[in-house]
Amino acid sequence: MSQTPPSPATQAPYADTEMACLAGAKAALYRWAETVATRDVDKVLALYAADAILVPTLSNLVRDCDDSRRNYFENFLANDGLVCDIQVFKKRVSRKLGTVVVGGLYTFVYRDGGEHCTVPARFLFTFERIDERWLITGHHSSIEA
């Protein structure tokens, strides 16, 4: 039994949908960087899906639940004056429009005992629109080689 495809009037062109997904994920990426600077653990965790996977910058443990992500961010966000500066990013939308992948370079800057510390790192985020919000479903970050 064949189904009748949706009419063009009810189906958004892929390019328009792709641009909307890219815009949503880009906004979510910058919201994440801004929220990290607040050093508020609960606000940062609210940007992640419940089952998100985090491979963090300054830890060798893969985090896959709220408790483990909380443990990492409680330590990471405790760094005085922490900011994240996104320098470069590239993005890709899945053809099914369920996931946006964003990869690039960012730098964390913070103070440690009065000294400025700079940590240049690579990142790869996956974002999905869940309950009308773009949430992080995957986040890998590693110190640049």
Q: Tens digit of pLDDT for each residue in 93-113?
A: 987 767 999 999 999 999 988
Hey, is 121 helix, strand or coil?
strand
Range 4-40 burial, b when 16+ CB lie within 10 A, else e = eeeeeeeeeeeeeebeebbebbbebbeebeebbeebe
Spatial distance between the Cα atoms of 94 and 139, rounded to a whole number of angstroms? 17
Q: pLDDT class for 114, splitting at 50, 70, 90?
A: confident
Q: Does 81 map to a domain?
A: yes
CATH number for position 134: 3.10.450.50
Provide the mean pLDDT of the chain: 89
Q: Does 49 map to a domain?
A: yes
Overall number of domains in the chain: 1
Is residue 140 within 8 Å of 62, Cβ to Cβ?
no
Q: Does 8 map to a domain?
A: no
Range of the domain at 33: 14-143
51, pLDDT greater than 90: yes
Q: Does 51 map to a domain?
A: yes
Q: Does 52 map to a domain?
A: yes
Spatial distance between the Cα atoms of 51 and 112, rounded to a whole number of angstroms? 32
Q: Does 112 map to a domain?
A: yes
pTM, full prediction: 0.86
Q: Does 53 map to a domain?
A: yes
Pairing of strands 115-130, 133-143: antiparallel
